[in-house]
Amino acid sequence: MRKILLPFMALIPTATFSATTPRTTCPSGYTTITENNLVVEDTCPAGYSSAGTANSCNDTNGPCIMFAEANTEYKDASGTYVFTSDCPLDPVTKCIITEPAGCDSYSFASNWYMNCSDPETFITGVAFCSSFQDTSPDGSDAIQTTLPVSSNPNDNKYCWCKMTNPAVSKWVSSFQVFVSGYGQCAANCAEACAGHAVNDSLFRELLWSNLSD
- pLDDT above 80 (res 150): yes
Residue 142 has pLDDT above 80, yes or no: yes
CB 84 within 8 A of CB 3: yes
> Is the Cβ–Cβ distance between 196 and 161 less than 8 Å?
yes
- Mean pLDDT value of segment 12-22: 54
Eight-state DSSP code of residue 189: H
pLDDT of residue 4: 32
Residue 87 CA neighbour count, 13 Å, CB half: 18
Stated pTM of the model: 0.74
User: What does the pLDDT average to over 180-184?
Assistant: 95
Q: Tell me what the pLDDT averaged over the chain comes to.
A: 84
Which range in 82-86, 87-91, 193-197 is most confidently predicted, on average pLDDT? 193-197
